[in-house]
Homo-oligomer: A and B are copies of this chain.
Amino acid sequence: VSSREFSWLPSEKKAARADFEGAFKRECEAIRHEVEVRLKRSKDPSEIWRVHDYLTAKRDEMDRKYDYRYSILIGVFGRLLRKGWIAERDLSALRGDKVEAIKFMASI
C-alpha cells in the first residue's frame, strides 16, 4: 500500500493535521512525565546529564517520526496508531480506504 495513491480532501487534511498535532502533544507530555519521574527518582546532581541524553535521543526520534508530508502520512499514522499515540476513533474524518491502509500499516 503506497500512500502516494491517496488524494486528500481539504476536510481530511484538516482532521489529519489535528490528529498529528494531538499525537505530538501527547507524546511530548509522556516525555515530560518521564523526565519528571527520573528527576524525582534520583537526587544525584548528575542525573541532569542523563536527562539531557534522554531528551537528545527523544528529540532526534521525534524529529524523524513527526514528518508531515501527505506522501508518507499513511505510514506515519500507521506507526502512531500502533504505538497508541492516535486511536482508531481519531481517524473518523478520513475516508475508509485511508483508514484501512493506516490500520494495515499499524499491523505490520
Q: What is A's interface to B at a CB cutoff of 8 Å?
A: 25-26, 28-29, 31-32, 35-36, 39, 45-49, 51-52, 55-56, 59
Contacts and interface: CB of A to CB of B under 8 A. Distances in A.
A35 to B, nearest CB: 6
Contact of A32 (B36, B39, B55): B39
B48 A55 contact: yes
Copies in the complex: 2
Does more than half of chain A's interface fall in helix, strand or loop, or is it mixed? helix
25 contacts: A25-B45, A26-B45, A28-B45, A28-B46, A28-B48, A28-B49, A29-B45, A31-B48, A32-B39, A32-B45, A32-B47, A32-B48, A35-B39, A35-B48, A36-B39, A48-B55, A49-B55, A49-B59, A51-B55, A52-B52, A52-B55, A52-B56, A52-B59, A55-B55, A56-B56
